[in-house]
């Protein structure tokens, strides 16, 4: 193996050291990286993301890459890269938190939780970090499931939750961080019908059982009285948010992190709106449906 795995200060994920991605990655190394990604949920690579080519080379170890569905978000020179930056002004909502204007705060979520087939994962590369804020966190839902008590596992094993597309923090029903929105709401988002996702999901590649709760998009428990269902969601969220299931990364330029979106949640802590942040992202295409669209059920 042409790299080593190093435990992080958290109890989840691994740091990859000794890996050279300046040239093509051989098949054996690629397979070993893929296996480590599946085993640990996310991998950190410090300082080796020195170019778009290096990022793309590494990203392809984890699956087929999926360009952003909206061309304006694609990197102008590398269509498989997504360019995430506020260099030309805020690209998302800005909120006031205790007198500080914050851009890019997104609470714990899985990408595409409002879609029947979410992506398999993603890889972020920090191109230009902010001097303050800007951390990203990951949370291991497989480990969180393992540590549930037997009664709760039995209670939730056949339950489904309704997930909705959210356009702002103010729409969240659970784990809402508060804040006052400063920038106006956009009204030109596409329509995404409600999706039913299981609360317990078996990972299609590893067979590990996952506690499937994405705090940003979850709305209510299907076919359960609201008060009872809301109490259950709040109990599950309190469980997954325990620090032992989390890793918070304080970025340096050229760091990269790849995560398994079917097993983990991630959160962007946001940064002061007057500081510039530039990130390149690749998305690993999803291949296995997790949920189903509610409109299709009644057709």
pLDDT digits (tens, 9 = 90+) for 120-143: 999 999 999 999 999 999 999 999
Mean pLDDT of 241-245: 97
Higher pLDDT, 89 or 228: 228
Lowest mean pLDDT among 18-32, 59-73, 195-209: 59-73
Higher pLDDT, 17 or 296: 17
Q: Does the structure show a pLDDT above 70 at 296?
A: no
- 229 with 117: CB under 8 angstroms? no
Q: Does the structure show a pLDDT above 80 at 188?
A: no
Mean pLDDT of 114-119: 94
Q: Does the structure show a pLDDT above 90 at 203?
A: yes
Q: By CB neighbour count within 10 A (0-12 exposed, 13-18 middle, 19+ buried), where does 44 fall?
A: buried
Q: 44: closest CA among 221, 241, 216, 247?
A: 247
Lowest mean pLDDT among 38-42, 84-88, 277-281: 84-88
Q: Does the structure show a pLDDT above 90 at 210?
A: yes
Mean pLDDT of 185-191: 80
Q: 112: closest CA among 187, 42, 217?
A: 217
Q: What are phi and psi of 236, to 5 degrees?
A: -70, -40
pLDDT the model gives residue 299: 44
| Per-residue tokens: 67 | 């360009």
**pLDDT tier at 88, thresholds 50, 70, 90:** confident
Lowest mean pLDDT among 72-76, 146-150, 176-180, 238-242: 72-76
How far apart, in whole angstroms, are the C-alpha atoms of residue 210 and residue 143? 8
CA 260 to chain centre: 8
Mean pLDDT of 58-85: 89
Mean pLDDT of 189-214: 95
| Per-residue tokens: 58 | 């590494």
SS3 of residue 170 by DSSP: helix
Mean pLDDT of 76-90: 90
* pTM tops 0.85: yes
Q: Does the structure show a pLDDT above 60 at 3?
A: yes
CATH code that applies to domain 4-286: 3.60.130.10
pLDDT the model gives residue 10: 85
108 to each of 70, 111, 264, 269, how far by Cα in Å?
A: 23, 10, 9, 9
Q: Does the structure show a pLDDT above 90 at 297?
A: no
pLDDT the model gives residue 73: 79
**Residue 281 β-bridge partners:** 82, 124
Which DSSP string corresponds to 62-100?
GS-B---SSGGGB-SS-TTSEEEE-TTS-SS-EEEETTE
Q: By CB neighbour count within 10 A (0-12 exposed, 13-18 middle, 19+ buried), where does 29 fall?
A: middle
Q: Does the structure show a pLDDT above 80 at 245?
A: yes
Average pLDDT along the chain = 94
Q: Which residues contact 115 (CB under 8 A, 6 or more apart)?
A: 192, 195, 291
- The domain limits of the chain are 4-286
SS3 of residue 147 by DSSP: coil
């Amino acid at each position: 193996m042409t790299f080593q795995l190093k435990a992080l200060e958290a109890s989840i994920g691994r740091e990859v050291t000794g890996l050279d991605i300046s040239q093509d990655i051989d098949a054996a190394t690629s397979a070993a990286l893929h296996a480590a990604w599946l085993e640990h949920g996310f991998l950190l690579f410090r300082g080796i993301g020195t170019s778009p080519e290096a990022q793309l080379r590494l990203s392809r170890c984890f699956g087929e890459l999926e360009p952003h569905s909206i061309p304006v978000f694609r990197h102008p020179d590398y269509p498989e890269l997504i360019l995430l930056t506020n260099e030309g002004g805020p690209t998302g909502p800005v909120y006031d938190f205790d007198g500080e204007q914050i851009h890019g705060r997104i609470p714990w979520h899985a990408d595409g939780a409002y879609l029947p087939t979410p992506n398999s994962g993603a890889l972020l590369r920090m191109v230009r970090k902010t001097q303050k804020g800007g951390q990203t966190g990951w949370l291991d839902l497989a480990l969180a499931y393992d540590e549930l008590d037997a009664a709760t596992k039995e209670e939730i094993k056949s339950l489904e939750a309704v997930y909705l597309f959210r356009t702002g923090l103010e729409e969240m029903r659970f784990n809402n961080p508060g804040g006052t929105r400063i920038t106006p709401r956009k009204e030109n988002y596409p329509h995404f019908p409600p999706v039913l996702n299981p609360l317990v999901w078996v990972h299609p590649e590893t067979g590990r059982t996952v506690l499937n709760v994405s705090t940003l998009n979850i709305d209510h428990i299907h076919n359960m009285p609201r008060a009872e269902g809301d109490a259950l969601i709040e109990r599950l969220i309190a469980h997954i948010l325990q620090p032992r299931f989390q890793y918070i990364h304080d970025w340096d330029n050229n760091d990269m992190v790849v995560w398994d979106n079917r097993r983990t949640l991630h959160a962007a802590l946001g940064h002061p709106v007057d500081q510039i942040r530039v990130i390149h992202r690749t998305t690993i295409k999803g291949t296995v449906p997790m949920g189903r669209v509610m409109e299709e059920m009644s057709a």
